[in-house]
Amino acid sequence: MNNTNKVIVGALLNLSLLGAADAKTPDDQSAAAMAQELKQLQDQVDALKKRLDAQAVADQQTKAAADAAAAQAASAKADTAAIPTQVQSALDAAKPKTDKIYYKGVTLTLGGFGAAETVFRNHNESADISSSFSAIPYGNSSPGQTNELRFTARQSRITALAEGSPNDTTHLAFYGELDFLGAAQTANSNESNSYNPRIRVLYTNVDWDDLGLHLLTGQSWSLVTLNSKGIAPRTEVLPPVIDAQYVPGFDWARQPQIRITKDFDKTLWLALSLENPQTTFYTGANALPKTVILTYNETGGSGFNSANTLSLNHIPDIVAKVAYDAALPDRTLHAEAYGLYRSFYERLDYSNQNTSGGGFGAGLIVPVVPKLLDFQVSGLAGKGIGRYGSAQLTDVTFDPAGNIRPISEVEVLAGLTLHATPQLDVYLFAGEEKESAQAYDLTSGTGAVTGYGYGNPLYSNSGCGTETSTGSCVGNTRLIEQGTAGFWYKPYVGKFGRYQWGMQYSRTEREAFSGVGGAPIGNESMVFMSFRYYPF
């Protein structure tokens, strides 16, 4: 019996006793008092009955709600059982998740993408998704008379960023990127396509906010590479193309370095970088005189592939850069300029020789229409700068005495990117790399003249025209230029990452210096397609 029922029974008993007392007490005054008590008790009984009725209604409502919830759960379970496996997986993935991994105070952010890509070239370069602009064949190349089609997943990428902050003004970071465009001697496309991973970038970074200082150590993009904001790592601006060799005229390298940067209120930036040196040579179409004793590179030793050679270098490439971010009313303009110093090293006639080179570069990014149309332009001019351009033209050559002679070059790139919709980007880029002749002649005692150096008009190009040509073809490259256009479409961007696909068309022309027999020209039309999923 619950408390409410006990109270009601007690009240009824009191009423019964009062009724009995009333029958035995005929006194009018006592009767009136008893009647008053009886009325009060009656009121209590009525109130308790109302509470009991309300409680009964509440109990019924609670039971009805519980029954409905049970029925709904049973229905949901039945519906879930009928959902296909892939849909159920999507529902499970939609559960709340964190964007980062936390371990011992360090924040880990994963990134990268999976790529399925294809390239078609109208002239065979025997190249994967990275084009060989300076190897575009002339008319005498038999493979160059054939088309080239390749499928590849090797540009797929894995990235990881680890960050920690010992205090409010000191921040540590470690960042790495890997792709699969490495090609060891054992890698091939015959059956397994087992190409090895390679380092893109792998570096540590320390930021001291109170000092405005930033230290980068490890392999990263060279300081010559255009940035979008200040001189901060991971703000490099790459042409948005599919071709993994980008566009001729784009200045870049990824190499080990030590870089120190100072920012002034995140507006003006100064940086100095010491970077890993390497030199590319053109020895000439004719051998140097036998009296010249020359060493300029060596076969790879411990830690290197013996199929490659390494130049002699003992001074790092040095880059000094200044950048400025101008805040306009509705946009931010980024401008930068830099100087590059290089040292070229050789062992000539039993003596070590140094020759200097380098150049000056600049870049500009302008949001022509904020959040809609972006314009960028960059360039580098100097001597011995070939390896910093996407076309990979030669750094230096030799005069008849064996002295290193840097080759003058100009590299320029300009492009527009249209953010047509949140899902669609369209781009148009054009670039070129142009070298000047560095030619030398040697006249023998008999009056015969022998040509040396790069781009010498005495070199024979008579065999560059057709497959059946019997003459020789030196064909030193004078100019590489390209125009390219493409788009990226993103049908899905959300909590599950981003999926996108794109196409690119490029037209590239390779022009040689004029020699005996003319100035050959090679051209290449390429069509790329890419499907990528960015899960992070």
192 CB neighbour count, 10 Å cutoff: 8
Asked if residue 338 lies in contact with residue 223, where contact means CB atoms within 8 angstroms, the answer is: yes
Asked whether 239 and 363 are in contact (CB, 8 A), the reply is no
pLDDT score of 20: 45
- Six-digit token pair at 23? 């029958």
Asked if residue 311 lies in contact with residue 296, where contact means CB atoms within 8 angstroms, the answer is: yes
Whole-number pLDDT of residue 364: 98
Q: Nearest Cα to 510, choosing from 518, 519, 501, 500?
A: 519
pLDDT at 305 (0 to 100): 85
Determine contact, residues 399/407, Cβ cutoff 8 Å.
no
Closest by CA to 351, choosing from 282, 403, 315, is 403
Q: Which tokens hold the place of 22?
A: 């009333």
Distances in Å between the Cα of 224 and the Cα atoms of 142, 269, 378 are: 38, 14, 10
Instruction: Cite the beta strand spans of 328-423 per DSSP E.
Output: 332-348, 351-369, 373-383, 396-398, 404-406, 408-421
pLDDT score, position 492:
97
Q: How far apart are the first and last CA of the chain?
A: 63
pLDDT, one tens digit for every residue, the chain (536 residues) = 555 455 444 544 444 444 444 444 445 566 667 767 777 777 776 776 777 676 766 677 667 666 766 666 555 554 545 445 555 555 454 444 567 899 888 999 999 999 999 999 999 999 999 999 999 999 999 999 999 999 999 999 999 999 999 999 999 999 999 999 998 877 888 888 889 999 999 999 999 999 999 999 999 999 999 999 999 999 999 999 999 999 999 999 999 999 999 999 999 999 999 999 999 999 999 999 999 999 999 999 998 988 889 999 999 999 999 999 999 888 899 999 999 999 999 999 999 999 999 999 999 999 999 999 999 999 999 999 999 999 999 999 999 999 999 999 999 999 999 999 999 999 999 999 999 999 999 999 899 999 999 999 999 999 999 999 989 999 999 999 999 999 999 999 999 999 999 999 999 999 999 999 999 999 999 999 999 999 99
What confidence score (pLDDT) does residue 100 get? 83
Res 15: pLDDT: 45
pLDDT at 30: 66
pLDDT score of 400: 97
Looking at residue 185, what is its pLDDT?
78
* Structure token pair of residue 210: 């109170």
Helix-strand-coil percent breakdown of the chain, rounded to 5?
20, 45, 35
Predicted TM-score (pTM) of this structure:
0.80
